[in-house]
Chains A and B, each alone.
Chain A
Amino acid sequence: MRNPLSQTIVNIKPSGIRRFFDIAAERKDTISLGVGEPDFDTPWHVRDEGIYSLEKGRTFYTSNAGLMELREEICKYLSRRMDLNYDPKKEVLITVGGSEAIDIGLRAMVDPGDEVLIPQPSYVSYEPCAILAGAKPVIIELKNENEFRLTPEQLLAAITDKTKILIMPYPNNPTGAIMERSDLEKIAKICVEKDLFVISDEIYAELTFGDRKHVSIASFPGMRERTVVINGFSKAYAMTGWRLGYACGPEEILKQMTKIHQFAIMCAPTTSQYAAIEALKNGDTDVETMRESYNQRRNFLMHAFREMELPCFEPFGAFYVFPCISEFGMTSEEFAFALLDVKKLAVVPGSAFGLGGEGFVRISYAYSLKKLETAVGRLVEFVTELRNKA
């Protein structure tokens, strides 16, 4: 029998988080701060709307691009929150989570040999998706001293004549880093000058703290026509399991993305689309309440790190903190395994998120304060014991 497998996919490593947590899941009494999804339930009025749509028998396909009413609500939302204006008829596509949008966005825009710039540490799917699309991923290693922001110098150094796309993963998973207006201005200018396209993954856009409102790179001069904005409902409205995201961008690109979506997916789940309309129409206060809770937990963790003198830049986005553990002379994987072994506390090694993640661990604060308090207790013990040994 011939080898049934594609060499391209065989050569791609499975997600490092998965490997780690398969082990963590087997240990009893483990507290996990590993999950990258909200601990809140989807707001009841949103769930209720999903149930209602089922009761009404709305169990059909929607159009490939998604329900027009949802696309219109998305455009209104982007206009009022992000100062972005899109045509719901031609420039919006409803996808199965933001992840699908990343995949088909890359597939719609690259040819073999094109280079895709991927700042890391970042979400685990950009690199494999770029490879699967036939492109060559080029990694930009983000630095702790820049608070894991992408600097113009780093970007310029990575650009070649083959560079076509820049992935902008902000607010960032796993570091919690954000890019503010002044940071983005310079990046946008380079993109226009060097004729780069941008896939901007803004799934955490609603989760920024300390009066630092999210700014979309698509809102800068000359950027709208070269940017695909990706967002979704998972993080802002605690709707991970509904699998609903969207992409907005120039008609030319969206048309091709819709084509892939049409053949591969058909349409995003109909129940989820009806629920999402309700989320956009009446969900602002839910988002606000959850944001405030996350912020309290963020404050709690940052204070705890200061107390135990664990270096960590203050992250203003997403729901992760990314403390530095290099003082202990272990790799982030060794540290995470030891922490799991000795204190039954699971965090994700920074190395799972690519270059630049070594020496750090990702701690999610999508957990109740009570749980975080217990977890911090265990972390303090662990850190103290390690320091006493040294």
Chain B
Amino acid sequence: MREKILTFIEKNSRVELKELAILLGMSETDVANELEAMENEGIICGYHTLIDWDKVTTERINAVIEVRVTPQRGRGFDSIAERIYKYPEVESVYLMSGGYDLLVMLEGKTLREVSSFVSEKLSTLESVLSTTTHFILKKYKDHGTILHQEYADEREILS
């Protein structure tokens, strides 16, 4: 049941409790209890909104930064990752296999803001060996949702 709830709210977290219960064929109390339990257990970590900022006048700049670091004895990558993810402008941090160690996703208001974060804060961290910054030019699909998509029902009215 948990998986069904999660699969649904992953795409639409604004669904009303009553409606979700009907759709999943569960009682409202059961759904509410499961949701609360999953929040407490840290399975549900937040309810976010997917926004296409390109359609809003506010400028946003997104960057993806590949970071090579020296792991620390006894703590591996965790402590350097922590030092990076504590910055509020950092959107996500992942430990990666392959040619670099940490993938850092960043959101800033201006190009200058992003570049100064990289040059002044990130690169100067002691265990950071190198950084490679890529700027995102256009988002086509985010969180499983295709942006700029218009849906038309082209099925013939009858079949």
A residues sitting closer than 8 Å to B (CB atoms) are: 17-18, 20-21, 24-25, 30, 32, 34-37, 39, 210, 240, 292, 295-297, 299-300, 303, 346, 369
Chain A residues within an 8 Å CB radius of B23: 296-297, 299-300, 369
Option from A34, A240, A292, A296 in Cβ contact (under 8 Å) with B158: A34
Chain A residues within an 8 Å CB radius of B155: 35, 37, 39
Question: For window 106-154 of chain B, which residues contact chain A by CB distance below 8 Å?
Answer: 153
Nearest chain B CB to A315 CB, angstrom units: 14
Q: Is the CB of A296 within 8 A of B24?
A: yes
Contact A299 to B157, CB < 8 A, known contacts A292-B4, A292-B7: no
Q: Is the CB of A303 within 8 A of B157?
A: no
What are 22 pairs between A and B in contact, CB < 8 Å? A17-B158, A20-B158, A21-B157, A24-B157, A24-B158, A25-B158, A30-B157, A32-B157, A32-B158, A34-B157, A34-B158, A35-B158, A37-B155, A39-B153, A39-B155, A210-B25, A240-B159, A295-B25, A296-B8, A296-B23, A299-B23, A303-B22
In the complex, A20→B157 CA distance in Å? 10
In the complex, A39→B154 CA distance in Å? 9
In the complex, A20→B19 CA distance in Å? 33
Chain A residues within an 8 Å CB radius of B157: 21, 24-25, 30, 32, 34-35, 346
Chain B residues within an 8 Å CB radius of A17: 158
Chain A residues within an 8 Å CB radius of B25: 210, 295, 299
In the complex, A36→B158 CA distance in Å? 7
Option from B7, B8, B19, B159 in Cβ contact (under 8 Å) with A36: B159
Tell me if A's interface is mostly helix, strand, loop or mixed.
helix
Contact A299 to B4, CB < 8 A, known contacts A21-B157, A37-B159: no
In the complex, A299→B7 CA distance in Å? 17
Q: Count of A-B contacts with CB under 8 A?
A: 43
Nearest chain B CB to A191 CB, angstrom units: 31
Q: Is the CB of B158 within 8 A of A18?
A: yes
Contact-size category for B: 10 to 19
Residue of B nearest to A303 (CB): B22
Q: Is the CB of A299 within 8 A of B22?
A: yes
Q: Is the CB of A21 within 8 A of B153?
A: no
Chain B window 67-85, contacts with chain A (Cβ cutoff 8 Å), 1 for yes, 0 for no: 0000000000000000000
In the complex, A295→B8 CA distance in Å? 12
Nearest chain B CB to A351 CB, angstrom units: 16
Nearest chain A CB to B110 CB, angstrom units: 37
Nearest chain A CB to B31 CB, angstrom units: 13
In the complex, A292→B159 CA distance in Å? 23
In the complex, A303→B155 CA distance in Å? 27
Q: Is the CB of A299 within 8 A of B24?
A: yes
Option from B4, B7, B22, B159 in Cβ contact (under 8 Å) with A300: B22
Q: Is the CB of A21 within 8 A of B158?
A: yes
Chain B residues within an 8 Å CB radius of A32: 157-158
Chain A residues within an 8 Å CB radius of B4: 292
Nearest chain B CB to A196 CB, angstrom units: 31
Chain A residues within an 8 Å CB radius of B153: 39
Chain B residues within an 8 Å CB radius of A25: 157-158
Residue of B nearest to A369 (CB): B23
In the complex, A297→B24 CA distance in Å? 9
In the complex, A292→B11 CA distance in Å? 14
- Which of A17, A240, A303 is most buried by chain B, counting CB atoms within 10 A of its CB? A303
